[in-house]
A = this chain, B = another copy of it.
């Protein structure tokens, strides 16, 4: 499970880095806490982080369960696609919110794949 643990920790670090970029955007665009709105540029950074939060809570359990039923190394490899997809999503969204869809797909497709692999593994375990 060492690869799954590694991908998990990398996903956590990626999310922390996104949070750091939101904090920097707060300074850059002069949005004082507790506000999260009022500047459209800042809101892009903030929404990237929020959407990554929503994706991370699905990605991690899906990764762990899929890795329980199938090759953990392969599931970790699928997880790498998610990690890269999130970076693409970040860069797309910040440059132009309407350009966020490719990165979104690139990070949500591996998540859905892990869920489906998990379900397939459960069915196999029930039948086996």
**Which residues of A does B touch, CB under 8 Å?**
2, 5-6, 8-9, 12-13, 15-16, 19, 32-37, 40, 43-44, 46-47, 49, 53-54, 56-58, 60-62, 65, 68, 93, 97-98, 100, 111-112, 115, 118-119, 121-122, 125-126
Contacts and interface: CB of A to CB of B under 8 A. Distances in A.
A86 to B, nearest CB: 14
Contact of A122 (B6, B58, B115): B6
13 contacts: A5-B65, A9-B62, A9-B119, A12-B58, A13-B115, A15-B57, A16-B115, A33-B100, A34-B44, A49-B54, A53-B53, A53-B54, A53-B57
A75 to B, nearest CB: 14
